[in-house]
């Protein structure tokens, strides 16, 4: 399993990379040298917090995940090949940074605003790539 995953490539290599556990994802940020804030994706030209140019700034990998803000079940695929129904959510992945992601749970009844999500690899072995999916950190927390 680990050997197979080691040969896989991220579907969006500028955004995330497989973590050492072979399952979760690290998100790739750029840390501003002026204010210390994180910007995402790492190739944005200027700091999202203070506007300082980020050329030459340090890229940092952080465990991917965040706080679920809101979510909706999509009953029609937004993209070709996307499963339907699927659940899309807005996730605060770092202070001041909100990204939209696909949440891999069977039913939105398993989700609550404010719950912690982690990013994991969704492996597409046929294409040799993995995509980013979010799952609850503590799925048993929802009654
Ligand atoms: Zn800054």
pLDDT digit string, tens, across residues 29-80:
999 999 999 999 998 999 999 999 999 899 999 999 999 999 999 888 877 7
Whether 22 is covered by a domain: the verdict is yes
**Could you tell me if residue 142 is inside a domain?**
no
Write down the pLDDT at residue 84.
Answer: 83
Centroid of ligand 1 to alpha carbon of 62 (angstroms): 18
What range does the domain containing 83 cover?
2-137
pLDDT for residue 78: 73
Residue 31 within a domain: yes
Expressed in angstroms and rounded, the spacing between residue 124 Cα and the centre of ligand 1 is 36
pLDDT at 115: 96
pLDDT at residue number 1: 47
Whether 126 is in a domain gets the answer yes
Count the domains in the chain: 1
- Give distance in angstroms: CA of 38 to centre of ligand 1: 8
CA 20 / ligand 1 centre spacing (Å): 29
- Which residues lie across from 27 on neighbouring strands? 16, 62
Place of tokens 């995402």: 40
Does residue 84 form part of some domain? yes
Residue 139 has pLDDT above 90, yes or no: no
Q: Classify each residue of 1-10 as buried b or exposed e, where b means 16 or more C-beta atoms within 10 Å of its C-beta.
A: eeeeeeebeb
Smallest CA-to-CA distance from 111 within 133, 86, 85, 139 is with: 139
């Amino acid at each position: 399993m680990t050997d197979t995953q080691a040969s896989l490539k991220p579907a969006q290599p500028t955004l995330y990379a497989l973590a050492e556990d072979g399952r979760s994802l690290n998100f790739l940020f750029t840390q501003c040298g002026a204010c210390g804030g994180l910007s995402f994706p790492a190739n944005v030209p200027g700091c999202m917090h203070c506007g300082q140019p980020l050329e030459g700034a340090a890229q940092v990998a952080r465990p991917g995940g965040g706080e679920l803000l809101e979510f909706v079940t999509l009953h029609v695929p937004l993209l070709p090949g996307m499963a339907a129904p699927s659940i899309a959510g807005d996730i605060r992945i770092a202070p001041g940074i909100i990204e939209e992601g696909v949440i891999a749970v069977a039913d939105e009844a398993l989700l609550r605003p404010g719950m912690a999500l982690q990013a994991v690899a969704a492996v597409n072995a046929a294409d040799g790539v993995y995509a980013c999916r979010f799952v609850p950190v503590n799925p048993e927390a929802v009654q």
